[in-house]
Structure 1
Amino acid sequence: MSTQRLRNENYSGYSSTEVSPTESPSNGLDDFSGSSSYQRFGETNGTTWFQTLIHLLKGNIGTGLLGLPLAVKNAGILMGPLSLLLMGIVAVHCMGILVKCAHHFCQRLHKPFVDYGDTVMYGLEASPSSWLRTHSLWGRHIVDFFLIVTQLGFCCVYFVFLADNFKQVVEAANMTTNNCNSNETVLLTPTMDSRLYMLTFLPFLVLLVFVRNLRALSIFSMLANISMLVSLVMIYQHIVQGIPDPRNLPLVANWKTYPLFFGTAIFAFEGIGVVLPLENKMKDPKHFPVILYVGMTIITILYISLGCLGYLQYGPAIHASITLNLPNCWLYQSVKLLYSIGIFFTYALQFYVPAEIIIPFFVSRVTERWALMVELSVRIAMVCLTCVLAILIPRLDLVISLVGSVSSSALALIIPPLLEIATYYSEGMSPITIAKDILISVFGFVGFVVGTYQAIYELIQPSVSPTLANIASAFVQ
């Protein structure tokens, strides 16, 4: 199955824009929310506004959410939520920029749909620089590269998350009780290393990615949604009870840990890759701007509330995933298992994007007789690669921060503002808009460099058990 075929099958019946050649390009979000820019044609079985909202929420909620309490710790109880709010505003603004530029090229080139890579490629073709116009195809390659890194990075995070949670459940099994009110420290029974747990999951995830049909994967997505929703409700129910005195928590954390906050936060907010496909598959795309703002508002509130409440509840002892802090009773052990089941099934969905980019490259170089064998071999190799990378970096917090800093910052913060400049500069842009776009891109680039450096620096430091480190920091407080 080629990437082009996937695009044709999924999007051929839908149009982001259908305008006359004489209509002027979009000048902002207000323009693309007008009814004249949204006329559906073809099939009428597109998604409703509610279905689109659910897909948008699902595309932004995953393991990154559970790591936000530690992110707030790395920023401070005041600086953390303020930074999350600012990052949420900037992220949704960049999503709006991407949609606006995509609509501009749909109108100008009379295309029913352009994806992220196409939009960047056309943006470079429209730039005033002859060098950029000549090398516009690299825009698509760059977006594809960062999409591959981001999605495979998610898969690495899932390996570490599954290993950490299952390891804790197994090690605490003998001491697990029905009393969920006790906060006594549980002496875990040592079992095998977390890396061996990753190897245990490997064959099952290989079998899972052999499912190549999106409709079949939608069943797994539904199971993941249900299990993760139940888990989140139980987590919130627990962390709002008996919150300790927050006055001992620092308002602003050490500046050295803030880059780790940035990586984790942008990892959580990186849902820009789903924006254009969701908008294009709607019955009434004119409602998408409202859905985007409503959905991202809900997501930002969810991120800030879980990050703050989780840090307030556990303080310096917070783990890389808040599930690892839950009480050692069967109720909350089941929460860990439920969320892990959701992450397990979500692995195949995150894997689908890089698979559709990488696999056609290899399949196109063999005869049809060997196509299936080559495809399955590439799938196995890609899953093994994510497993090996997870084994090499078994720290969940650092994996999340590294993936967020390296690739998520590029897709969510750096590229969209530069795309807007390339697209509209020759048509006239206000200096304020140009300055704003440059500021956002510089902010993303600084986060990219500093966050990546700090995550790598932490990785090469002598290994210290996260549990022991958290306990020690709690006594220092």
Structure 2
Amino acid sequence: MDRSSSANDNVPFSAEETPTEEADLPSTFPPGPTKDQSEYERFGGKTGTTFLQTLIHLLKGNIGTGLLGLPLAVKNAGLVLGPVSLFVMGIVAVHCMRLLVKCSHHLSAKVGKPSLSYGEVMEHSMENVSCLRRHAARGRCLVNLFLIITQLGFCCVYFVFLSDNIKQVVDAANATTMNCHNNQTVVLEQSFDSRLYMLCFLPFITLLVFTPNLKYLAPFSLLANLAMCTSLVLIYWYSIRNIPFPVSLPYVGKPKDFALFFGTAIFAFEGIGVVLPLENKMQKPQRFSMVLYLGMAMVTFLYISLGTIGYLCFGANIGASITLNLPNCWLYQIVKILYCFGIFITYALQFYVPADILVPPAVARVSGVRCKKAVDLLVRTALVILTCLLAVLIPELDLVIALVGSISSSALALIFPPLLQVFTFHSEDLSIVVTLKNILISVVGVVGFVAGTYVSIEQIIQRSKLGPGASLVQGP
């Protein structure tokens, strides 16, 4: 993929988000804001995105596979504690996003750049602290490393999601079709291991990531968005209509399972990498705070509502993705196929970030157009194979989501932003309340990181000893 700017300058795209097409990015940056420019003017200006466009991009950047796993997350936390925890996490996530934007504004004005990536914000903030100055470049690399882990983790989740859902569709096609309104539980014999489906997807996904420019995927991305929206409407419709009464579900889950809830929830909320590029490209970036609050309020409502409704509908039988609990009639098989199509296209968009970081250095080591092209394709193929192999090794959708969320999403969304505020404004005498608040958020992120990673790995080991399940249970 040809780039006119350095790879690291385009790192910050993240959690379930469509990266901005490279044609929209300027090839050179101005030396800094002039006296005729406001402090908010960055990439956008008159050609930037409108309020509504930015809001849509923000919603798209926070809604994906993590949403479908939230009913299981609510089960792990409990019917009352789960929604309350999602609400609190939504507030903290928005606050951390605001911290990142605030630090970016301050540092970009200080260094005379029109914009900064997440990694650059970390680097320049560490330069403000004398004892950390010599490690500033490492701080930028650390953020970029977590971004790569996050994006490749998303790609692993997509392999597992695609294989589980398509396997269920194929199994249903080979079984007796169930009426859409029949609440009877159906047990399907496992015809093929889901890992075989991953291997079947491998060549098609590899060809997909060979796309030389993201603009060629734009029409398919639009169709993918429409397909996923249609699927969500039908999922809501079925779940609301089939909530059993009376409801007898535990209000609070087991303490150990809360670690899995944390990993899944922070995986879903980890859209902090979307913030800086969207704010930079707005026509009126001073209105970005309103976009952020409105968009994240809608996202949080969607997360809480689907997580709660899905758990109420399917109860203890809720699967790693709510789509796995839908009945076997043709309508809901189409729902699964539509969502799988959306995830298939989204793989290339998520793959954009790690490829944009890792491919240019590899290509720079060789000379000749043909050699450069060959190295480009080889690196992309190797990364796709890596994500597929990791998915094959851990074919448990809920645990992969929890593991990725605990390891990387907690660092990007909870641990780093409070530290950025401390590093950036440490010389301005931060109040004790602000300092304690930042310490609390970072500590929660670290505890979630450790506990979520430990429990996820422990559960992965336990399930690997049991072997793949012999049946898939559907229906409420």
| Same fold at TM > 0.5 | yes
Per the alignment, residue 458 of structure 2 pairs with 457
1:173 aligns with 2:173: yes
Per the alignment, residue 400 of structure 2 pairs with 399
Aligned 8 A contact 1:92 1:293 in 2: yes
In structure 2, C-alpha distance between the alignment counterparts of 1:246 and 1:63, rounded to whole Å? 30
1:160 maps to amino acid: V
Aligned counterpart in structure 2 of residue 87 of structure 1, from 85, 89, 92: 89
1:144 aligns with 2:144: yes
How has the CA–CA distance of structure 1 residues 42 and 69 changed in structure 2, closer, same or farther, with 3 Å as cutoff?
Answer: closer
RMSD: 2.3
* Per-residue Cα deviation, 1:132-151 (whole angstroms, up to 9, x for no partner): 10110011100110000000
How has the CA–CA distance of structure 1 residues 361 and 149 changed in structure 2, closer, same or farther, with 3 Å as cutoff?
Answer: same
Per the alignment, residue 347 of structure 1 pairs with 347
1:240 is paired with a residue whose SS is helix
In structure 2, C-alpha distance between the alignment counterparts of 1:411 and 1:393, rounded to whole Å? 23
* Residue 284 of structure 1, CA deviation: 1.1
Per the alignment, residue 101 of structure 2 pairs with 99
In structure 2, C-alpha distance between the alignment counterparts of 1:3 and 1:88, rounded to whole Å? 36
1:117 maps to amino acid: G
In structure 1, C-alpha distance between the alignment counterparts of 2:48 and 2:105, rounded to whole Å? 18
2:102 is paired with a residue whose SS is helix
Aligned 8 A contact 1:40 1:284 in 2: no
Per the alignment, residue 245 of structure 2 pairs with 245
In structure 1, C-alpha distance between the alignment counterparts of 2:335 and 2:275, rounded to whole Å? 30
Aligned 8 A contact 2:188 2:472 in 1: no
Aligned 8 A contact 1:37 1:286 in 2: no
Aligned 8 A contact 2:189 2:472 in 1: no
Per the alignment, residue 55 of structure 1 pairs with 57
1:445 aligns with 2:446: yes
Aligned 8 A contact 1:156 1:390 in 2: yes
- Is there any run of 5+ residues in structure 1 with no aligned partner, and where? 22-34
* Per-residue Cα deviation, 1:324-354 (whole angstroms, up to 9, x for no partner): 0001100001000000000000000000000
2:241 is paired with a residue whose SS is coil
* Residue 427 of structure 1, CA deviation: 2.0
* Residue 19 of structure 1, CA deviation: 7.0
Aligned 8 A contact 2:190 2:472 in 1: no
In structure 2, C-alpha distance between the alignment counterparts of 1:264 and 1:416, rounded to whole Å? 20
Per the alignment, residue 280 of structure 2 pairs with 280
In structure 1, C-alpha distance between the alignment counterparts of 2:443 and 2:324, rounded to whole Å? 35
1:112 is paired with a residue whose SS is coil
Per the alignment, residue 127 of structure 2 pairs with 125
Range that drifts further, 153-162 or 210-219: 210-219
In structure 2, C-alpha distance between the alignment counterparts of 1:346 and 1:256, rounded to whole Å? 32
* Per-residue Cα deviation, 1:95-127 (whole angstroms, up to 9, x for no partner): 000000000012112211111011000000012
Per the alignment, residue 231 of structure 2 pairs with 231
* Residue 360 of structure 1, CA deviation: 1.2
* Residue 37 of structure 1, CA deviation: 3.4
In structure 2, C-alpha distance between the alignment counterparts of 1:469 and 1:179, rounded to whole Å? 18
What does 1:177-326 correspond to in 2, within 5 Å? Answer: 177=177, 179-245=179-245, 247-326=247-326
In structure 1, C-alpha distance between the alignment counterparts of 2:394 and 2:466, rounded to whole Å? 11
* Residue 223 of structure 1, CA deviation: 1.7
1:248 is paired with a residue whose SS is coil
* Per-residue Cα deviation, 1:410-453 (whole angstroms, up to 9, x for no partner): 00000000010000001221111011001000000000000000
How has the CA–CA distance of structure 1 residues 19 and 270 changed in structure 2, closer, same or farther, with 3 Å as cutoff?
Answer: farther
1:430 aligns with 2:431: yes
In structure 1, C-alpha distance between the alignment counterparts of 2:177 and 2:276, rounded to whole Å? 47
In structure 2, C-alpha distance between the alignment counterparts of 1:366 and 1:44, rounded to whole Å? 40
In structure 2, C-alpha distance between the alignment counterparts of 1:246 and 1:451, rounded to whole Å? 33
1:188 is paired with a residue whose SS is strand
Per the alignment, residue 109 of structure 1 pairs with 111
2:46 is paired with a residue whose SS is coil
Aligned 8 A contact 2:73 2:265 in 1: yes
Aligned 8 A contact 1:76 1:253 in 2: yes
Per the alignment, residue 16 of structure 2 pairs with none
How has the CA–CA distance of structure 1 residues 324 and 467 changed in structure 2, closer, same or farther, with 3 Å as cutoff?
Answer: farther
1:379 aligns with 2:391: no
In structure 2, C-alpha distance between the alignment counterparts of 1:184 and 1:446, rounded to whole Å? 41
What does 1:326-345 correspond to in 2, within 5 Å? Answer: 326-345=326-345
In structure 2, C-alpha distance between the alignment counterparts of 1:301 and 1:41, rounded to whole Å? 31
In structure 2, C-alpha distance between the alignment counterparts of 1:179 and 1:66, rounded to whole Å? 23
Aligned 8 A contact 2:44 2:281 in 1: no
In structure 2, C-alpha distance between the alignment counterparts of 1:359 and 1:39, rounded to whole Å? 31
In structure 2, C-alpha distance between the alignment counterparts of 1:301 and 1:19, rounded to whole Å? 41
Aligned 8 A contact 1:3 1:356 in 2: no
In structure 2, C-alpha distance between the alignment counterparts of 1:225 and 1:91, rounded to whole Å? 24
In structure 2, C-alpha distance between the alignment counterparts of 1:467 and 1:87, rounded to whole Å? 36
How has the CA–CA distance of structure 1 residues 271 and 357 changed in structure 2, closer, same or farther, with 3 Å as cutoff?
Answer: same
In structure 2, C-alpha distance between the alignment counterparts of 1:186 and 1:312, rounded to whole Å? 19
* Residue 155 of structure 1, CA deviation: 0.2
Aligned 8 A contact 2:68 2:321 in 1: yes
- Is there any run of 5+ residues in structure 2 with no aligned partner, and where? 11-21
In structure 2, C-alpha distance between the alignment counterparts of 1:57 and 1:49, rounded to whole Å? 12
In structure 1, C-alpha distance between the alignment counterparts of 2:265 and 2:331, rounded to whole Å? 29
* Residue 178 of structure 1, CA deviation: 6.8
Per the alignment, residue 74 of structure 1 pairs with 76
2:315 maps to amino acid: G
How has the CA–CA distance of structure 1 residues 464 and 42 changed in structure 2, closer, same or farther, with 3 Å as cutoff?
Answer: closer
Query: What's the % identity of the aligned pairs?
Result: 59
